[in-house]
């Protein structure tokens, strides 16, 4: 009898899955099934649960299937294998080996992982980075995230300070609001269309549904000049991190200093008790290029770079994990 049992996620597992996520050392609300399933029609979910011989849930893997490849869920910003704090390195080796063996036996040739950035974990959780080295995994992408360490002094550039001063002079007002329609329709959708010929990852209806389920985690902040909406941001808040999921402003009102004023307020007041403020990536072309203007703006607010790595693994290499410990 195998020491671990791998099971494909079914809807009846939602309760035990969500309880596990709530107590994991390297998970956020994005792994909650209510978040994962807002776009379930777009993906062939093939998430996995790993139980020991006593039916204790030891690990989960949010994932979806495309042909012969299992993806660390493509509908999530980050993913990877999720554990509780109590699980130690030796057990993680065996669990990951069993997962790869299971995938190989079920005709999956590849596993693609996008690891969760270190700032989002509650405890050190780099075991997978080491095991991917042992498995001869190939790094296929590396994204650069612009992050402020809120435990250290924050240095705004002179140009950002002037923007903040203009915001004060123009008597801008920041409001946290529970509705997303104005920001989506007046700022976000038009700006993404004009600048990138793109749409938000989340439709207005989707973000409203997600907010109704995660009102403490998904927050909307708008900036007003004489009652006119001029800038805003949608923030995804987790235990350690405040992440700007969407940022947008009216270009004709850039001279007011709306975005500088807004982020000074968020960083110094609203999220001052967090460990990090994450502006997200400035990457284009699957990570190969950096939008210079975008990263310049983020760095001028005090952000510096951490990376998120993406890997592809041949499932047949599971045997590489058999003799790691000596």
Task: Say which DSSP state 234 is in.
Answer: E
pLDDT at residue number 49: 98
User: Could you give all domains of the chain from N- to C-terminal order, each with its CATH number?
Assistant: 4-142+309-321 (3.40.630.30), 152-274 (3.40.630.30)
pLDDT at residue number 3: 87
Q: Note the residue count of the chain.
A: 326
Segment 142-149 mean pLDDT: 97
pLDDT in tens, 2-48: 689 999 999 999 999 999 999 999 999 999 999 999 989 899 999 99
Distances (CA, A) of 319 to 128, 132, 212: 16, 13, 45
Segment 265-274 mean pLDDT: 97
Alpha carbon 183 to its chain centroid, in Å, reads 21
Residue 102 or 41, more confident = 102
pLDDT in tens, 153-188: 999 999 999 999 999 999 999 999 999 999 999 999
DSSP states of 150-186 as a string? TTS-----HHHHHHHHHHHHTT-EEEEES--HHIIII
pLDDT at residue number 1: 46
Using a cut of 0.85, tell me whether the model's pTM lies above it: yes
């Amino acid at each position: 009898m195998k020491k671990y049992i791998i099971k494909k996620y079914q809807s009846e597992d939602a309760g035990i899955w969500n309880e596990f996520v709530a107590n994991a050392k390297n998970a956020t609300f994005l792994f909650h099934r209510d978040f994962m399933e807002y776009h379930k029609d777009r993906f062939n979910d093939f998430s996995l649960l790993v139980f020991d011989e006593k039916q204790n849930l030891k690990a989960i893997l949010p994932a979806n299937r495309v042909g012969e490849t299992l993806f660390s869920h493509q509908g999530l910003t980050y993913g990877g294998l999720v554990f509780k704090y109590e699980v130690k390195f030796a057990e993680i080796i065996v669990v990951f080996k069993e997962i790869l063996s299971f995938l190989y036996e079920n005709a999956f040739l590849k596993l693609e992982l996008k690891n969760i950035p270190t700032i989002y974990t509650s405890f050190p959780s780099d075991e997978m980075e080491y095991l991917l080295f042992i498995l001869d995994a190939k790094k296929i992408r590396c994204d650069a995230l612009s992050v402020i360490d809120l435990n250290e002094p924050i240095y705004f550039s002179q140009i950002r300070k002037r923007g903040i001063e203009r915001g004060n002079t123009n008597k801008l007002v920041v409001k946290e609001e529970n509705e997303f329609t104005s920001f989506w329709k007046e700022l976000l959708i038009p700006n993404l269309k004009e600048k990138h010929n793109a749409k938000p990852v989340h439709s207005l209806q989707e973000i409203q549904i997600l907010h109704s389920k995660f009102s403490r985690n998904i927050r909307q902040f708008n900036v007003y000049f004489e009652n006119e909406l001029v800038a805003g941001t949608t923030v995804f808040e987790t235990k350690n991190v405040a992440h700007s999921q969407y940022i947008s402003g009216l270009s004709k009102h850039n001279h007011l200093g709306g975005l500088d004023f807004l982020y000074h307020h968020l960083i110094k007041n609203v999220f001052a008790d967090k460990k990090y403020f994450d502006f997200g990536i400035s990457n284009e072309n699957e990570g190969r290029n950096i939008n210079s203007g975008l990263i310049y703006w983020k760095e001028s607010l005090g952000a510096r770079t951490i990376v998120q790595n993406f890997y592809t693994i041949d499932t047949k290499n599971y045997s590489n994990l058999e003799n790691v410990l000596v």
